[in-house]
């Protein structure tokens, strides 16, 4: 028994008269992984007494996209096709084995499960869904261990979400997964058999993400990474042994056990209080709460305020010292920030045509707006010299007052004085 691919031109209004039977897949929903073939319309001609267990010689089979068709005789696969199209059953022909998208990967499996005897009296057509099966729900019944390097702690989480699968080797899937004598199988019908393996692989994937240094709060946004690790973990038990794989894993929510949540809260609180501005707000808030509570003292506001006064001499004295420490740290941070910003401000001022004083202030006028120092004279370029009158020249005489250029060995200070030694005789600055 084998399959002959029919020409599309043979399909027309007279299809029912040309073929003994026309078979195609039964209802195949989004979660259906396996179903039987059913007649599209009653048989014609010499097939009026046909049996439902017999695929007659010359029958027609429709195969649509994302369907894998198996021709079964006595429970054994005698032929198959992974290519969409129209096929005629020929009992006298050898198996045609249309592999389609699966290439040669099915031949070895077919060699193990094919039927080697004479045709029996139970010939059937089945279809396997090769489309992605989506929306399979999962949840961790017990907390899963996760070491978070950011918190430097072993945390325990529960996760809920969904995943999807795809059949990658239909022949292997049929022989290892589909129950005997089944005519239609939804994935949920067989999911319980593989739930333990899925959760074990889920734990392995989380361990790998932990080893990669992923923060636990980022796991929900790493669906692609998680799916890849899951696929690697399930490669042997699912892909190689049963012919299907995980395509995608999505986590809808993550929750922590009480101990883990307490550790996370403590770590976050400590991170916040390491900021002196937040810590100072906390100190001032505590003082305000104490005064507010004193005003509502059932023994009277006067007694309550007296208690506040005693507290100011005692406990609040400590809070005052803490507040002073916070203010000092905030001032230090501001100074460091200003020092870091100064070079960029100086560069911006210079780019805008300004100049930077020795005190760090960027100015545009001739004198510093902060300390009053005059703008330094520009350094002469190569071959230039500055006359006593302040004019910058290149020739041997000043273009403004006519004085000759300084003889060799002389130099002009930024203050305008002409010198011969290493220091300016007018202002004491060293020779540049």
Question: Could you report the per-residue pLDDT of 241-250, keeping only the tens digit for each?
Answer: 999 999 998 8
Average pLDDT over residues 118-136: 82
pLDDT of amino acid 118: 45
Residue 277: partners with Cβ closer than 8 Å, 6 or more residues away: 326, 330
Confidence of residue 165 (pLDDT cuts 50, 70, 90): very high
β-bridge partners, 363: 355
pLDDT of amino acid 420: 78
Q: How far apart are CA 88 and CA 61, in angstroms?
A: 6
pLDDT of amino acid 402: 83
Domain layout of the chain by residue ranges: 2-129, 133-261, 372-432
Residue 403: partners with Cβ closer than 8 Å, 6 or more residues away: 387, 388, 389, 397
Confidence of residue 422 (pLDDT cuts 50, 70, 90): confident
pLDDT of amino acid 201: 92
pLDDT of amino acid 255: 84
To the nearest 10 degrees (0 to 180), the angle between helices 315-351 and 301-313 is 70
pLDDT of amino acid 19: 45
User: Assign residue 373 a region: left if phi > 0, alpha if psi is -120 to 50, beta otherwise?
Assistant: beta
pLDDT of amino acid 379: 65
With beta carbons less than 8 A apart as the criterion, state whether 177 and 243 touch.
yes
Give me the chain's average pLDDT, please. Answer: 75
Residue 128: partners with Cβ closer than 8 Å, 6 or more residues away: 33, 34, 67, 68, 70, 167, 170, 173, 174
pLDDT of amino acid 168: 93
Q: Which CATH number fits domain 133-261: 3.30.479.30, 3.30.365.10, 3.40.50.1000, 3.90.1150.10?
A: 3.30.479.30
Q: Is the pLDDT of residue 128 over 70?
A: yes
pLDDT of amino acid 241: 92
pLDDT of amino acid 364: 83
Q: Where are the beta strands (DSSP E) in 29-167?
A: 32-41, 60-63, 67-73, 76-81, 85-90, 123-129, 133-139, 144-148, 153-167
Q: Is the pLDDT of residue 49 over 50?
A: no
With beta carbons less than 8 A apart as the criterion, state whether 73 and 79 touch.
no
Q: Is the pLDDT of residue 131 over 70?
A: yes
pLDDT digits (tens, 9 = 90+) for 224-282: 888 889 889 998 899 999 999 999 988 888 888 888 778 777 766 665 555 556 555 55
Q: Is the pLDDT of residue 1 over 60?
A: no
| Between 307 and 186, residue with greater pLDDT | 186
Residue 74: partners with Cβ closer than 8 Å, 6 or more residues away: 115, 117, 119, 120, 121, 122, 123
pLDDT digits (tens, 9 = 90+) for 171-206: 999 989 999 889 999 999 999 889 999 999 999 998
pLDDT of amino acid 78: 84
Which two tokens mark 265?
């809260």
CA nearest 244: which of 131, 330, 135? 131
3-state secondary structure of 371: coil
Q: How far is CA 419 from CA 387, 397, 411, 422, in A?
A: 12, 17, 5, 8
pLDDT of amino acid 167: 95
| Between 419 and 340, residue with greater pLDDT | 419
Q: How far apart are CA 18 and CA 7, in angstroms?
A: 13
Q: Is the pLDDT of residue 304 over 70?
A: no
Average pLDDT over residues 139-150: 86
pTM for the model stands at: 0.56
Which two tokens mark 14?
């007279």
């Amino acid at each position: 028994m084998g399959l002959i691919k029919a020409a599309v031109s043979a399909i027309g209004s007279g299809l029912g008269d040309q073929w003994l039977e026309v078979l195609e897949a039964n209802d195949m929903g989004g979660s259906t992984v396996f179903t039987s073939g059913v007649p599209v319309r009653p048989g014609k001609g010499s097939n009026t007494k046909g049996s439902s267990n017999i695929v007659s010689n010359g029958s027609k089979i429709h195969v649509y996209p994302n369907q894998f068709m198996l021709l079964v005789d006595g429970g054994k696969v005698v032929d198959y096709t992974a290519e969409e199209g129209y096929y005629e059953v020929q009992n006298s022909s050898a198996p045609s084995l249309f592999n389609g998208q699966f290439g040669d990967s099915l031949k070895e499996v077919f060699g193990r499960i094919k039927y080697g005897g004479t045709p029996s009296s139970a010939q059937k057509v089945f279809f396997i869904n090769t489309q992605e099966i989506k929306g399979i729900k999962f949840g961790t019944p017990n907390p899963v261990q996760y070491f978070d390097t950011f918190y430097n702690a072993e945390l325990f989480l529960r996760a809920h979400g969904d995943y999807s699968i795809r059949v990658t080797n239909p022949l292997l899937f049929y022989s290892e997964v589909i129950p005997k004598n089944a005519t239609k199988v939804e994935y949920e019908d067989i999911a319980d058999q593989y739930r333990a393996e899925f959760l074990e692989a889920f734990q392995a994937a989380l361990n790998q993400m932990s080893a990669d240094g992923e923060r636990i709060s980022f796991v929900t946004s790493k669906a692609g990474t998680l799916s890849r690790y899951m696929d690697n973990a399930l490669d042997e038990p699912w892909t190689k042994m049963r012919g299907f794989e995980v395509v995608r894993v999505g986590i809808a929510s993550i929750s922590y056990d009480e101990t883990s949540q307490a550790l996370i809260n403590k770590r976050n609180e400590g991170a916040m209080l390491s900021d002196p501005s937040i810590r100072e707000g906390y100190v001032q808030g505590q003082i305000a709460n104490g005064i507010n509570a004193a005003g509502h003292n059932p023994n009277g506001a006067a007694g309550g305020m007296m208690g506040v006064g005693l507290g100011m001499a005692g406990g609040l004295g400590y809070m005052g010292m803490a507040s002073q420490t916070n203010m000092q740290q905030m001032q230090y941070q501001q100074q460091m920030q200003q020092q870091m910003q100064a070079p960029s401000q100086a560069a911006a001022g210079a780019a805008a045509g300004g100049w930077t004083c020795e005190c760090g202030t960027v100015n545009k006028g001739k004198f510093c707006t902060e300390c009053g120092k005059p703008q330094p004279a520009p350094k002469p370029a190569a071959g230039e010299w500055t006359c006593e009158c302040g004019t910058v020249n290149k020739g041997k005489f000043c273009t403004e007052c006519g004085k000759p250029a300084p003889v060799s060995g002389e130099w002009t200070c930024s203050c305008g004085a002409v010198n011969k030694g290493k220091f300016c005789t007018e202002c004491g600055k060293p020779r540049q």
